[in-house]
């Protein structure tokens, strides 16, 4: 999390629990609530005086920077109780996309994310060096070699000699660590013009303090934050399934699907998914209702199994007579309903085989021939694939059970 860097409605987060080794730094500002004091002399000096000038209040200590097996981390300086304010930052001490230089802002459109805009702001401030009013803060950001995030052409007329890797570095910078089990989030008070974090549990002195970045899958954590979790309960899989080119009813099916398709959803990064892409979440019980399998995917499978124009016409008529959604109800003919779900089951089984093969191709991360950085990245890849494979297997189990109950 970038302390002092605020996005619209949210701050920028980049760490996870507990497999990342990036720097962490946080503070609170208010005459009543206590905040950060670094336990490492290299972070003191001009930082706290600068911070107090920025915040306009006295900075006391309750959180400190220390070193753990995962690198520099944020720890409680004293006992903290559930409900204590552990971090409070006035908007005046937060770097935001609004700080973009007018010349740079004119080059960007609304399709550029706030995180990317904030990264550009940081690059600009870094370029200014000691002349930047944010220099004490910028100088304490994690170094490029500490980052694992793996994105934007630079603007040479503004940032001379800045390369893509520099943008990637700025894009991934942060301080606070993520715990998937934590319920502590950043809250914003527009009236008081500040952001704060409230402890969601008790902390003993010298215990690392965590927050949650949100309910993100490993694919999002990897793309946006540069880390993964060994087991992520929020994992999901995006699968793509199409009407086969050899299907004699290809054109008719595509026309029916197009006339009843829902607006394409945007993912957490703002990207639109295609009409033949579906997101599967873990199906918790093979004997349950299949929560996790989107109804739109099962409807697509029902359209796929149709063998005559009349069947497709019947589906369209049924949709028009109800809520307008195509093929959301099971076929009255159980054999046809089974066939539809067997098509889906076959597709998912094929995906599980491909995932399993990909996992096997990854060299064990414990191999002495792998350097530490490569081992870290391979472990992230394994976390991602194993998590998505778990989702696919849960979907397969549910589909097999569903077909068996209809047989």
178 strand-pairing partners: 211
Q: Is residue 285 part of a domain?
A: yes
Do 7 and 14 touch, CB atoms closer than 8 A? no
The pLDDT tens digits for 304-351 are 999 999 999 999 999 988 888 899 999 999 999 999 999 999 999 999
Among 398, 406, 394, CA closest to 288: 398
0.75 exceeded by the pTM? no
Q: Is residue 352 part of a domain?
A: yes
Q: Is residue 230 part of a domain?
A: no
Higher pLDDT, 389 or 21: 389
Same domain, 320 and 339: yes
24 three-state secondary structure: coil
Range 367-389 average pLDDT: 84
The pLDDT tens digits for 107-162 are 887 777 777 787 788 888 888 888 888 887 777 665 555 544 443 344 444 444 54
Confidence (pLDDT) at 190: 85
Q: Looking at the 3D structure of the chain, how many domains does it have?
A: 2
- Separation of CA 230 from chain center: 15
Q: Is residue 144 part of a domain?
A: yes
For tokens 């070699």, name the residue.
145
Q: Is residue 1 part of a domain?
A: no
For tokens 């893509």, name the residue.
164
* Band of pLDDT at residue 37, cut at 50, 70 and 90: very low
Within 10 angstroms of residue 309's Cβ, the number of other Cβ atoms is 12
195 strand-pairing partners: 89, 188
Q: Is residue 231 part of a domain?
A: no
Domain encompassing residue 203: 6-225
Do 206 and 76 touch, CB atoms closer than 8 A? yes
Whichever domain contains 376, its CATH number is 3.90.1420.10
Among 342, 306, 319, CA closest to 260: 319
């Amino acid at each position: 999390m970038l302390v002092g860097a605020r996005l619209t409605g949210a701050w920028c987060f980049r760490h996870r629990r507990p497999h990342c080794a990036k720097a962490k730094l946080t503070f609170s500002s208010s005459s009543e609530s206590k905040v950060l004091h670094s336990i490492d002399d290299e972070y003191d000096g001009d930082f706290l005086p600068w911070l107090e000038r920025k915040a306009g209040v006295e900075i006391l200590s309750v959180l400190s920077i220390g070193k753990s097996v995962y690198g520099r981390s944020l720890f409680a300086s004293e006992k903290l109780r559930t409900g204590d304010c552990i971090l409070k930052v006035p908007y005046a001490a937060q770097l935001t996309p609004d700080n973009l230089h007018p010349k740079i802002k004119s080059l960007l459109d609304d399709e550029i994310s706030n995180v990317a805009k904030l990264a550009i702001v940081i690059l600009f401030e870094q370029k200014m060096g000691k002349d930047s009013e944010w220099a004490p803060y910028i100088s304490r950001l994690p170094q490029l070699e500490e980052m694992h995030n793996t994105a934007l052409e630079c603007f040479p007329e503004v940032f001379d000699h800045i390369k893509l890797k520099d943008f990637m570095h700025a894009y991934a910078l942060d301080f606070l660590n993520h715990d998937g089990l934590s319920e502590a989030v950043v809250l914003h008070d527009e009236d008081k013009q500040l952001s704060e974090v409230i402890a969601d549990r008790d902390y003993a002195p010298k215990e690392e303090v965590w927050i949650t970045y949100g309910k993100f899958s490993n694919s999002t954590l990897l793309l946006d934050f540069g880390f993964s979790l060994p087991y992520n309960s929020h994992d999901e899989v995006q699968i793509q399934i199409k009407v086969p080119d050899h299907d004699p009813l290809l054109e008719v099916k595509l026309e029916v699907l197009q006339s009843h398709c829902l607006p394409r959803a945007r993912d957490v990064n703002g990207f639109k998914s295609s009409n033949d892409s579906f997101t599967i979440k873990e199906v918790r019980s093979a004997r349950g209702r299949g929560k996790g399998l989107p109804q739109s995917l099962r409807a697509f499978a029902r359209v796929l199994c149709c063998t005559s124009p009349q069947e497709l016409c019947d589906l369209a008529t049924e949709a028009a007579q109800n809520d307008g959604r195509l093929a959301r109800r099971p076929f009255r003919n159980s054999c046809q309903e089974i066939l539809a779900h067997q098509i889906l089951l076959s597709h998912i089984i094929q995906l599980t085989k491909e995932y399993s093969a990909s996992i096997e191709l990854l060299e064990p991360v414990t191999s002495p021939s792998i350097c530490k950085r490569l081992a870290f990245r391979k472990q992230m890849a394994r976390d991602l694939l194993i998590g998505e494979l778990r989702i696919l297997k849960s979907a397969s189990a549910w589909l097999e059970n569903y077909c068996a109950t209809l047989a």
